[in-house]
Amino acid sequence: MPRATLAARLAIVAAIALAVALPIVMPSWATLITLILAKGIVVLGIIILLQAGQVSFGHAMFFGVGAYAVAFWGKYVGTGDLLLFLVVAPAAATLLGLLVGLFVVRYREIFFGMLNLAFSMVLWSLLEKMFHYTNGADGIRVARPTLAGLAFTPETFQYVLVYLTLGLVLIVAYGVQRYLDSPSGHMLRAIKSNETRLEYLGVSARRVLLVGYVISAFLGGLGGALVAVAQQIATPEFAYWTKSGEFVFIAILGGVANAAGAFAGSAVFEFVRFFAAAKLANAWQLILGVVLIAIIMFAPGGLIGLFRRDATETRR
């Protein structure tokens, strides 16, 4: 991974400053920014898997599990604390990631994608049809949690949430970038370019992929919990295949070369949705679809690739 250029560093600092300032300048955007950041966390997980050349069209299952962990806590245990949610939800997703991962890391490419899709659709059907426990398609409302025992008004809480999420993003993005630069992260890329050689170095490619898969599940759960709290609801749609597709979409939109792409993609995606849904007669999907096609055709490095000199198309 090439060292970040000065321009790239400045861009990251500017983006962080913007995320800090925007909720204050535009209070009505606070929740929008929380959603951008939270979904960016999920997309980091997609980017990890894409390093190994694997596309999960079922990753929303971890997003859904994170959200429902929070929702179920509210429904069956009582009002929760945000800090608790941020432990329980990722833990649930990580556990599921380990279980599902043990199966799916044996497969590659289309088979990997299909099996992930199948698992996620099983979860979706359960959420949709186990009406008695899940309220079916209506979903479960998520009450505003406390933070470290402190209760907040709705107005204050949206600031608490957005800055907490921003803090988490900084930690998580740094961690993921470290991971991608580590031997383990490089081995993930080696799975994509030559798994045979990796095995002939004495490395279990499955184990390398499992580590990445579990980390990405963790990130999915964390993002899901944050979105459920921000939107105050968890619905089966969180685990539906179109949501998985959306995460992969955001990853490609932003660029998969490093962690910054996840948030760049997420920001564009959510802003287009936010404004197009309000102003352009509900044509946001259409606009995003066209944007995606344009990115794939003309800027294969994604949005962040536009700012990178070495993002010219590699090999073939």
Contacts (CB under 8 A) with other proteins, residues 136-165: none
Subset of residues 236 to 265 that bind other proteins, contact rule: CB under 8 A: 240-242, 245, 248-249, 252
- For residue 204, state whether it binds other proteins (rule: CB under 8 A): yes
97 binds other proteins (CB under 8 A): no
Q: Least distance from C-beta 194 to other proteins, angstroms?
A: 5
Integer distance in angstroms from the first to the last C-alpha of the chain? 19
183 to 202, contacts with other proteins by CB under 8 A? 183-187, 189-190, 192-194, 196-202
Reference 311, options 1, 12, 54; nearest CA is 1
Contact 29, 85 (CB under 8 A): no
Q: Is 178 in the site for other proteins (CB under 8 A)?
A: yes
Tell whether residue 114 is a contact of other proteins (CB under 8 A). Answer: yes
Shortest Å, Cβ 35 to other proteins: 18
Cα 236 to chain centroid, rounded: 17
SS3 of residue 222 by DSSP: helix
Looking from the CA of 199 toward its CB, the CA atoms found within 13 Å total: 6
Output the smallest distance, CB 23 to other proteins, in A.
29
> How does 212-228 read in b/e, with b if 16+ C-beta sit within 10 Å?
bbbbbbbbbbbbbbbbb
Q: Give the interface segment with other proteins, choosing from 32-40, 70-78, 144-152, 287-295 (CB under 8 A).
A: 287-295
Among 9, 27, 77, 129, binds other proteins (CB under 8 A): 129
Report the b/e string of 191-204 with b at 16+ CB within 10 A.
Answer: beeebeebeeeebe
For residue 96, CA distances in Å to 12, 15, 84, 229 come to 33, 33, 18, 21
Q: Among 55, 173, 267, 268, which residue sits at the site for other proteins (rule: CB under 8 A)?
A: 55
Identify the H or E element spanning 101: helix 82-104
Nearer to other proteins, 97 or 145 (CB): 97
Binding part of the chain for other proteins, among 23-31, 78-86, 128-136, 216-224 by CB under 8 A, reads: 128-136
Does an H or E element contain 233, and which?
A: strand 233-234
Nearer to other proteins, 127 or 226 (CB): 127
Q: Of these, 17, 109, 151, 171, which contacts other proteins (CB under 8 A)?
A: 109
Q: How many residues bind other proteins (CB under 8 A)?
A: 74
Nearest Cα to 251, choosing from 93, 47, 51, 65?
47
The footprint of other proteins on residues 263-282 (CB under 8 A) is 281-282
Residue 9 carries which side chain, given as an amino acid letter?
A: R
